[in-house]
Structure 1
């Protein structure tokens, strides 16, 4: 049963195209032959271990477990499709960052921090992608809606919990490093072009 269970779980993860939790995997079996939760978890952890060093990985995200292309090779795999990944405006990314790190937060509070109005299209896009959800209403006049991140947001970025997000300090340090790299790149671009040794920043290859 153990080998068979492993094959079934692996095949399900490969075919699903979305995260599967243990309850969903358990439901694949007849009621009188369902494996125990611990058995399924052990198989998932074994598959995760076996995927190390492969072109794919088995990871646990907010909604369950999934099989996905390893991040380090996504640049090449993306060339299989003509359609380019969606590009988002700076305003949308700033809004999403504030919701992520300041949740629960209202639209008015986002506007106060950013100093500009939040476009309705931005909120519509975030809702359509199901990256944000309404957490309730602020107990102030008008009772504005409070927003936070959703499980789909965590799934999209390969996270199990918000605790896995980089801290604001880490982001600030990365931003400062990128500024330094940009400055250095500008100063050396002519000589690098001549030698054919222009280095691509790591974040440009992902």
Structure 2
């Protein structure tokens, strides 16, 4: 569509405004000139539109020799949309969380022993990021391995008042799975083997972060099992 030479300045402003509004992409000045008479001062039209929209919620801005309407930068915080994202844990993460919950405090090696496969670095990272596990201290054994336990957020997430409310605890204990003195899946959890174990619910101090990062960099002895996607369900 071309406009004859009789089009006034205000009409040209409206045309440019309409073209920019209807375009899904920024429009070049050459494309805008094709919509206007040759004698029209396109720079003047654009400058007038910039001024008109200067105090509005939408501004006319220049983007690499192209023009487009954009929401005002100072309104960004009012336009932000917060959306709750439901995240699912992999099968490996679910198994690891269950082992930590029932056997805590437990080391990486002990988790791997129970699962029968090497634990990928990302699995603990995911649980730590979710706030469901936390460091519990180091064992007084060679290598001083870091132990892990659940956090207060874990109890809140699954509606538990304490760890004794975990489903099937008594059944697992009676079957020997949680027998800490020996047997299949058992782990020696002597209190004297731990140092600096946290008894409160406070988060890890900042000065512990380099220590944790060092632990994450441990080499993996084998591949992780396939990451089948599973939902966490706690059922009696």
Higher-helix-fraction structure: 1
Q: TM-score, normalised by structure 2?
A: 0.36
Q: TM-score, normalised by structure 1?
A: 0.41
